[in-house]
A = this chain, B = another copy of it.
Amino acid sequence: MSETIQYTHKDMASDQEVRWCPGCDDYVILRAVQRALPKIGKKREDIVFISGIGCSSRFPYYVETFGMHSIHGRAAPIATGVKLANPDLSVWMISGDGDSLAIGGNHFIHVLRRNIDLNIILFNNEIYGLTKGQFSPTSKLDQITKTSPYGNTQPPFNAGALAMGANARFFARVSGNSLKEMQTLFVQAEKFRGSALIEVMQNCPIFNEGAFDVYNDRAQRPNTQLFLEHAKPMIFGAEKNKGIVLKGLKLEVVTIGENGVVEEDILIHDAHEPDPTLHTMLVKLVNPIITGIIRSVDELTFGDRFIGQMNARKSAANGKTFNDLVVSGETYYLK
């Protein structure tokens, strides 16, 4: 960046009135993004938001950058096209649990596999908001929703586990009401080269009120949520005395000072470990839930490989144009 621009979060707000339900966590996520953007060192015109369809997918309208509110489930391939067309852009993909894990499931796993350099915010409210309350692929078993009046019979995906299976290089999780943490994570996601997936536990007060209360609620949170930091021990609890240890191939919660456990016994988080085994185990913990950056492993991005191959061929080809192509190989003259 040659020129430095000093934006404030207000510069990142478009003139469109925000149209989510009162109390929806989507407002918090929006605020976090608008506060994070001035910190990423990109000009507004070099930022693009691509969303699918859903409550969450209205997001691009509210950010004063380029944006597209596309069609249901297809934000990932559209964002892929944007990034490949212009690798210099900061490209953000906005999507819901239905948008990315139901109809968009295929693109979701492929974008992660390819490691397209995107920042992906997954608004997981465990429900279809926009269509008024049907269960989603992350809704809980037995959950009562508009389309499961007798209880949901479809075991849910764990979004993080699915992402790991698809070879995600960056995965973070955060509470939908944590403005500050989100802000930090969004900046870190942008810094990460590759697909950076952030799952937000987003409360939908209208159709799935309280789905994440046990994790998001300020009072309960210290005991139910562990916000990871790289190279720090996995300690949590209102009294900072609980921690995670590895017993064989299982993670266990222990209390420091009880049964002879000392702080040194607690696992140290290594987000950069290429082997995803421990990250996958962390992703699946439910008590406590693991938040923060669980995995962040550098690898070539798809752009590095794909555009890289193109550029390599280009320099080898020495300015070859269409005019060279048409006369290459066998041609002949008729007189």
Proximity string of chain A (138-172) to chain B, C-beta cutoff 8 Å, 1 when within and 0 when not: 00000000000011011111100111111100000
Given contacts A113-B137, A165-B165, contact A280 B278 (CB under 8 A): no
A334 to B255, CA, bound (A): 72
When distances are taken between beta carbons in the complex, the residues of chain B under 8 Å from A280 are: 277, 280
Check if A233 is an interface residue, CB within 8 A of chain B: no
Q: Quick one: closest B residue to A160, CB to CB? A: B165
When distances are taken between beta carbons in the complex, the residues of chain B under 8 Å from A162 are: 109, 165-166
Instruction: Please report whether the interface of chain A is mostly helix, strand, loop or mixed according to DSSP.
Output: helix
Q: Quick one: closest B residue to A141, CB to CB? A: B305
Q: Quick one: closest B residue to A161, CB to CB? A: B165
Q: Which of A80-107 contact B (CB under 8 A)?
A: 103-106
Check if A238 is an interface residue, CB within 8 A of chain B: no
Contact of A114 among B106, B151, B154, B164 (CB under 8 A): B154
A113 to B155, CA, bound (A): 6
A26 to B209, CA, bound (A): 51
A309 to B148, CA, bound (A): 11
Check if A115 is an interface residue, CB within 8 A of chain B: yes
When distances are taken between beta carbons in the complex, the residues of chain B under 8 Å from A106 are: 103-106
Q: Quick one: closest B residue to A249, CB to CB? A: B277
Check if A275 is an interface residue, CB within 8 A of chain B: yes
| Interface size of A as a range | 35 or more
Q: Quick one: closest B residue to A162, CB to CB? A: B165
Q: Quick one: closest B residue to A113, CB to CB? A: B157
Check if A128 is an interface residue, CB within 8 A of chain B: no
CB distance from A270 to the nearest CB of B (A): 11
B167/A155 in contact, CB under 8 A:
yes
Given contacts A249-B246, A278-B249, A280-B280, contact A105 B114 (CB under 8 A): no
A4 to B138, CA, bound (A): 43
Check if A110 is an interface residue, CB within 8 A of chain B: yes
When distances are taken between beta carbons in the complex, the residues of chain B under 8 Å from A104 are: 106
Proximity string of chain A (166-188) to chain B, C-beta cutoff 8 Å, 1 when within and 0 when not: 11000000000000000000000
A167 to B155, CA, bound (A): 9
B302/A154 in contact, CB under 8 A:
yes
Check if A335 is an interface residue, CB within 8 A of chain B: no
A-B residue pairs in contact (CB < 8 Å), sample of 7: A105-B110, A113-B156, A154-B305, A155-B167, A157-B166, A162-B166, A164-B165
Lowest 10 CB-CB distances: which A-B pairs, in order?
Answer: A165-B165, A153-B305, A106-B106, A105-B106, A162-B165, A153-B306, A249-B277, A161-B165, A114-B154, A164-B165
Q: A106-B106, A250-B275 are in contact. List 19 more A-B contacts (CB 8 A).
A: A103-B106, A104-B106, A105-B105, A105-B109, A109-B162, A113-B137, A113-B155, A113-B156, A114-B155, A150-B313, A153-B302, A153-B306, A155-B167, A157-B167, A161-B167, A162-B166, A165-B165, A246-B249, A249-B275
